[in-house]
Amino acid sequence: MELSRKHMVASNSRFLVYIEVIILLPYFSLPGLNLLGLTSPVVRGNDIDQKALLHFKSKIIGDQLRVTESWNSSIHFCHWHGVTCGRRHQRVTKLELEYLKLTGSLSPYMGNLSFLREFSLAGNNFYNQIPREIDRLRRLEILVLTNNSISGEIPSCFKLIEVEIEGNQLTGEIPTFLGLLSNLKYLSFAYNSLRGSIPPSLGNLSSLETLALKRNSFSGITPEALEQLTDLSYSIDDNAISGTVPVAMFNLSNIIIFSVGGNKIQGTVPSDLAITMPYVNFFSVRENQISGKIPISISNASNLNILQFEGNRLDGDVPSLEKLDKLFAILLDANHLGHGGEGDLHFLSTLVNNTKLEVLVISENNFGGVFPECISIFFTTLLRLVMEENKIWGRIPHGIGNLINLEVLGISQNQLSGPIPIDIRRLQKLTIFDAHINFLNGTIPYSIGNLTMLTKLALDFNNFQGNQV
């Protein structure tokens, strides 16, 4: 009887231990359970993903940095270079192989990586088309193929948030279905060979923040539907876009980049246009066929860093730029600005509180008046000062030597007179000094010979006397 009771107690103890193990199992990580000897070895991931990656590797014909040498059976594929897996399912969620000198084509088996969210091959030499099978990646959110040699069509993964395929060989037109990618925030096809017009369907992308289509062969007009995208930053430089810019686009309240340079855009920018771009830092309408006046309201864009109006048909006065104290580049060259008289350069005095200005180019206009003294006093951060082909008269200010960071000084083809100030010797960073075709006189300062970084000196067609430097 006593033996039987002991046996029962022992059995119950084992049962209780067994119950405790069962209860505690969910609270142990798999590695912890392995240490207890209570589990079998961890499963080595999903065979489908591993096979897809090996097919991807088989299409790589150049691997100078031996990146894919780790892609073998001795290491779990989740630890292969550039591969990231999710913790829960051990499925590939990211494939990032950027700037690794890889050469090859894209495997259609990529479409089997059904958990892939981010795919980036930027800065390699992948070529041929984007496989149609990539459309099966229903979880794909980020696709970055920048700076390769990829051709073919654009994928239609409907969860995409970011698409960067700039710097490739894409041809054809932008497909209208992109207007269905409701989550899309960043879209860049810059530096390709795309043609056709910008589809109005892109105006449906209410989340779109960046549209970069620079340097393609787009034609047609800017769709008015883009006016709806209040958070848009817009870059369509160097295409063949014509027509006028929809006026409402100058009022995209959250825009950071507005760049439509190098097209065939015509019409005027109304002088009373209420530009309200408080966050814009890059504004460019360069090299178009825009006429009329520079709007006074441009000064409302108080965060501007770069202002480009060059290469148009603008005329009249340049308005006050007083509020634009963050500007470091102003390019107004190759227009019809100014009246050839006193007061044309008054706008420069409105910039005296600017402590960041590095580039000032106002050449090939109709500006008159004396060489403004304020340039040599206040603009000590200037790197490039180009005022060529105007009607500016008077002397080069004695304070020109204050511009100690100046690298380019272009004042040719004006009506400047008097001597070259001796203080020009202080411009030790000067590489170009072009003052030809003026009425400068006196002797050429010997100190110019001490400007050791000077690569171009043009002083011909003036009234200099004495020995040459």
Q: Assign 3-class secondary structure to 161-200.
A: CEEECCCCCCCCCCCHHHHHCCCCCEEECCCCCCEECCCH
Helix (H, G, I), strand (E, B) or coil at 146: coil
Would 245 be classed as within a structural domain?
Answer: no
Would 10 be classed as within a structural domain?
Answer: yes
Beta-ladder partners of 144 = 120, 164
Would 201 be classed as within a structural domain?
Answer: no
End-to-end alpha carbon distance in the chain = 125
Geometric angle at alpha carbon 366, from 361 and 370, rounded to 5°: 75
Cα–Cα distance for residue pair 252/222, rounded to 1 Å: 14
Would 16 be classed as within a structural domain?
Answer: yes
- Non-local (6+) Cβ contacts of 110 within 8 A are 52, 56, 116, 119, 131, 133, 134, 137
Cα–Cα distance for residue pair 288/330, rounded to 1 Å: 17
Would 367 be classed as within a structural domain?
Answer: no
Print the SS3 string covering 318-381: CCCCCCCCCCCEEECCCCEEECCCCCCCHHHHCCCCCCCCCEEECCCCCCEEECCHHHHHHCCC
State the number of CA atoms in the 13 A half-sphere of 431 facing the CB.
Answer: 5
State which amino acid sits at residue 49.
D
Q: Each residue of 412-425: pLDDT tens digit?
A: 999 999 999 999 99
Would 152 be classed as within a structural domain?
Answer: no
Which regions of the chain are under pLDDT 70?
Answer: 1-45, 272-274, 467-469
- Non-local (6+) Cβ contacts of 148 within 8 A are 121, 122, 123, 124, 125, 126, 127, 167, 168
- Residue 377: its pLDDT value, please? 86
- Residue 467: its pLDDT value, please? 65
Q: Each residue of 26-44: pLDDT tens digit?
A: 333 333 333 333 332 333 4
Would 448 be classed as within a structural domain?
Answer: no
Range of the domain at 9: 2-36
State which amino acid sits at residue 239.
N
Report CA-CA distances (Å) from 416 to 9, 350, 420, 468.
Answer: 113, 23, 10, 20
Q: Residue 151, Cα to own-chain centre: how many angstroms?
A: 22
- Non-local (6+) Cβ contacts of 323 within 8 A are 299, 300, 302
Would 24 be classed as within a structural domain?
Answer: yes
- Residue 448: its pLDDT value, please? 92
- Number of structural domains found in the chain: 1
Cα–Cα distance for residue pair 146/433, rounded to 1 Å: 39
What is the widest separation between alpha-carbon atoms in the chain?
133
